[in-house]
Amino acid sequence: MRPLVIVKLGGSAITIKDKPFTPNIQTIEEVSRQVSELRGEYLFILVHGGGSYGHVVASEYRIAEGFFHPDQLIGLTKVKLRMNELTHLILASLASYNVPAVPVTPVSCLTCSSGKVEKFFTEPLRMMLNLGIVPLLPGDVAMDYSEKRFTIVSGDQIAARLAVELNAIKLIYGTDVDGVFTGDPKHDPGVSLIPRLTRSMAKNLRASITAGDVTGGIFKKVEEGFSAAEKGVRVIIGNLVKPGALISIVREEAGAMYTTLEP
């Protein structure tokens, strides 16, 4: 069987994050094209973030905090509605490139405890992969065994968990920058890309970045990535906005820009 690659399509890459409910159609189309080209060499699972879709509504209803008021419950519905819109756009794009993708809803096949995935029923995913189907999963709301009762399970966490459970050879976190930098590349042209990142380097880097710096958001991704890297998965963080970048990263072509996580 072909080796499995899991790609997390970051919200910063597939949506316009400062414009609510606005997709980045160009990136979605480019990713679909590249997955179509690579399918002869690899099996794929695609996981996508919420970007300007799910995060807007989840924040409004404070879903990540867990249950504290009945008025939040309609927020679960609204998060699902918005995430389904984004999933549909990606699915339609994949279909246009003849990629046989099937959407999988995490809330119906996993449970959490204190915000972390505890149980994940992966058998349908294994069966899809055996047929050459590409499962497509969003970050999602999830039921939680703790006093939270529900939570948000990120696409980053889902992707890392599946990479380990399904023995993926690579886990790729796709963003709108080339990887992990020594600072915020969007605001400081003097920062440098870190080609190989260890836990100790990440810890030192995090301590040097102010709490308000948007680069701080990368560390949630890095933390989930290390959980997979330490179990033998090759984890790469790279830029999916650049044309052809996914192919370059998956094949690790000479000259490709990205950061690998080194356990």
Alpha-carbon distance 204 to 192, whole Å? Answer: 15
Q: pLDDT at residue 231 above 80?
A: yes
Q: pLDDT at residue 39 above 60?
A: yes
pLDDT for residue 216: 44
Token code pair at residue 237: 């963080």
Number of domains in the chain: 1
What does the pLDDT average to over 109-124?
Answer: 97
Alpha-carbon distance 199 to 134, whole Å? Answer: 31
What does the pLDDT average to over 251-260?
Answer: 94
pLDDT band at 215 (very low <50, low <70, confident <90, very high): very low
pLDDT band at 213 (very low <50, low <70, confident <90, very high): very low
Average model confidence (pLDDT) across the chain: 93
Q: Which of 14-23, 113-122, 140-149, 212-221 bottoms out in mean pLDDT, i.e. has the lowest?
A: 212-221
pLDDT for residue 208: 63
CA distance to 6, 11, 23, 45, per residue, from 17 (Å): 23, 7, 9, 23
pLDDT in tens, 41-82: 999 999 999 999 998 899 999 999 999 999 999 999 999 999
What does the pLDDT average to over 136-155?
Answer: 96
Cβ–Cβ under 8 Å, residues 176 and 13: yes
Phi, psi at residue 151, to the nearest 5°? -155, 180
Judging by beta carbons within 10 Å of its beta carbon (0-12, 13-18, 19+), is residue 199 exposed, middle or buried?
Answer: middle
Percent of the chain at pLDDT > 90 equals 84
Cβ–Cβ under 8 Å, residues 228 and 238: no
pLDDT band at 212 (very low <50, low <70, confident <90, very high): very low
Alpha-carbon distance 74 to 152, whole Å? Answer: 15
What does the pLDDT average to over 94-104?
Answer: 98
Percent of the chain at pLDDT > 70 equals 96
What does the pLDDT average to over 138-150?
Answer: 97
Judging by beta carbons within 10 Å of its beta carbon (0-12, 13-18, 19+), is residue 212 exposed, middle or buried?
Answer: exposed
pLDDT for residue 7: 98
pLDDT for residue 220: 86
Token code pair at residue 46: 């695609």
Alpha-carbon distance 186 to 88, whole Å? Answer: 30
Owning domain of residue 36: 4-261
Q: Where is pLDDT greater, at 30 or 204?
A: 30
pLDDT for residue 211: 44
CATH number at residue 248: 3.40.1160.10
pLDDT for residue 209: 59
Phi, psi at residue 207, to the nearest 5°? -65, -25
Q: pLDDT at residue 179 above 80?
A: yes
What does the pLDDT average to over 231-250?
Answer: 97
Give residues with Cβ within 8 angstroms of 137, minimum separation 6. Answer: 45, 46, 47, 48, 103, 104, 105, 106, 155, 158, 162
Q: Where is pLDDT greater, at 158 or 188?
A: 158
Cβ–Cβ under 8 Å, residues 128 and 162: no
| pTM, two decimal places | 0.94
Q: pLDDT at residue 186 above 90?
A: no
Cβ–Cβ under 8 Å, residues 98 and 131: no
At 249, which helix (H) or strand (E)?
A: helix 245-250
